[in-house]
Amino acid sequence: MNERPRKPTLSLSTRLLLAITVASFVTLALAVGYIDQAIERGLVQKQNAVLQDHLIVLRQAIEADPENLHAAEVVIQNTLGGDKNAKSFGCLTDATGRHLIETKGFTEFSPPLTDFPAPIPAGQQETQVTLTRPANDYPIYLVAALMLRTGSGETLNYYFAADGLPDEHFMESIRYELALVLLLETLLSAGLAWFISRHGLGYLERITDEIERTTANALQQPDATSGGISDANRRPREVARLFEAFTALRSRLSHSFNQLRQFSDDAAHEIRGPLNNMMGLTSLTLQRDRTPEEYQATLISTLEECDRMKKLADGLLFISRADHRRSALSLTSFDVCEAITEIVDYHSDMAHDRGVTISATASGMLTADRSLFRQSLTNVLSNALRHTPARGQVTVHFEGSTLSVSDTGEGIAPEHLPHVFDRFYRVDAARTHQPDAPAQTGLGLAIVRAIVELHGGTVTAESAVGKGTTVTLVWRQEPVL
């Protein structure tokens, strides 16, 4: 089955570049839009202010000469202008729409009077012009106002039209400049974003280079801070956390690799011993004809070596499964005193032969895998008996959820104590193949630790040279499944 080709993905620096550029463009576009609207409103307000003053003067002129409106005509003609270059036009009509006063060009320039907005009441001072575009698409400011003719009380209509093209040209120039500023600012933001992303992600690239250079041999080097990424004072906080995590990961990998290599060496050494014994014994047996009894003795010795290899393989398999939480626990609640008594009775003969006294005190119930509990206690107790001389004593005590095995043996030197639960670790390698313990594999205490940790507990050892050792197993009340 063919896998679908993966779509190319953008790099993190490119994504940051695009994100910063788009964010800057949107922000600047909003600011430019606001400035554009503010300037346009300012132009309208300017027209309103000019027209408001004009209307005030016009109303005063009508009030001063309401009969012939001569003063009003002077105000309209002189203020707005009536020649062809005038940019503003006005028209005063009566209530029937008859033109009383009109600047030259008003009819040609302005739209029909019906297109003007509703007139401003006579008593209102504020004005509000309307920008419109008639059929010829020419911008015009329009406003209409009511004028009260004193004396007769007649209401006059005043229509005002101003050329909006200069303001529109001004706005076009402003918008062009704003668009240019927007373009330049966007390009500048893109350049700064590129610089920031390259500089900020440079730490990630250095860490990536360091990861790519990490090999089995490189793991043995104590310092992984090449490329300038070790300067903690210059690293950003987020990158510092990443670097610390990478350093910790590298340390764990180095530790695991060393454990794996040591495990391989130890396993090969342990397997080679029985194999050499079987090969040597078989070779010696085949050098000449042997009696049936001699062949039987050879087979028995070979079987013992095979049994030793089987125990080694079983122990390694159990530890591997326990490390990966693949061993299923058969949890039951049992009487700890009964379980300990059975194991102590089983080892009583061995203790009697060695001249060692065993005592046990226990009470209470424990929820755990009973067979694994028995195995862990058996391993610790057997180890204590092997290292306790004649007239010594081994004490087993259980209380709450803590099991301790103490002996008055030879003790363990401080430099060896942290490693007693490691696989294949032996304080005295010369004791590996004692006649009274032919099946030792160096995995006893490692299996104990695996069992206790599988139950979510902890195991520790305390010792004093010449005084004895105490191994403490703390079982969790609710084991981790």
pLDDT at residue 318 tops 90: no
| CA dihedral for 283, 286, 288, 291, sign (positive or negative) | positive
Quick one: DSSP state of residue 141? E
Task: Categorize the per-residue pLDDT at 75 as very low, low, confident or very high, splitting at 50, 70 and 90.
Answer: confident
pLDDT at residue 21 tops 50: yes
For residue 26, count CB atoms less than 10 angstroms from its CB and return exposed for 0-12, middle for 13-18, buried for 19 or more: exposed
Nearest-Å Rg of the Cα atoms of the chain is: 50
Cβ 104 vs Cβ 124: under 8 Å: no
Six-digit token string for 466: 């010449």
Rounded to 10 degrees, the C-alpha dihedral 106/112/115/116 comes to 30
Six-digit token string for 427: 């304080």
Topology (CATH) of 328-474: Heat Shock Protein 90 (3.30.565)
Q: Which residue has the tokens 């966007």?
A: 186
* Overall CATH class of domain 12-176: alpha beta
> Minimal CA–CA distance to 69: which of 95, 97, 92?
92
Query: How far apart are alpha carbons 41 and 129 in whole angstroms?
Result: 11
Cβ 134 vs Cβ 163: under 8 Å: no
Mean of all residue pLDDT scores within the chain? 81
pLDDT at residue 311 tops 60: yes
Expressed in angstroms, the distance from the first to the final Cα of the chain is: 38
Six-digit token string for 53: 């003053």
432-456: average pLDDT: 70
**Range name among 58-72, 75-89, 201-215, 374-388 with the lowest pLDDT average:** 75-89
37 to 34, 43, 152: CA distances (angstroms)? 5, 10, 45
pLDDT at residue 323 tops 80: no
How many of the other CB atoms lie within 10 Å of CB of 426? 16
How many of the other CB atoms lie within 10 Å of CB of 464? 13
pLDDT at position 180: 93
> Minimal CA–CA distance to 290: which of 302, 299, 278, 303?
299
Query: How far apart are alpha carbons 149 and 146 in whole angstroms?
Result: 10
Alpha helices (H) along 65-87? 70-80
Region for residue 4 given its phi and psi (left: phi exceeds 0; alpha: psi -120 to 50; beta: otherwise): beta
Residue 79: phi and psi, rounded to 5, are -75, -45
| CA dihedral for 297, 431, 314, 272, sign (positive or negative) | negative
Query: How far apart are alpha carbons 119 and 159 in whole angstroms?
Result: 8
Model pTM score: 0.50
pLDDT at position 83: 46
How confident is the model over 174-194, as pLDDT tens digits? 999 999 999 999 999 888 888
User: What are the structural domain ranges in the chain?
Assistant: 12-176, 216-327, 328-474
pLDDT at residue 122 tops 90: no
327-351: average pLDDT: 88
pLDDT at residue 211 tops 90: no
pLDDT at residue 227 tops 60: no
pLDDT at position 324: 62
For residue 145, count CB atoms less than 10 angstroms from its CB and return exposed for 0-12, middle for 13-18, buried for 19 or more: buried
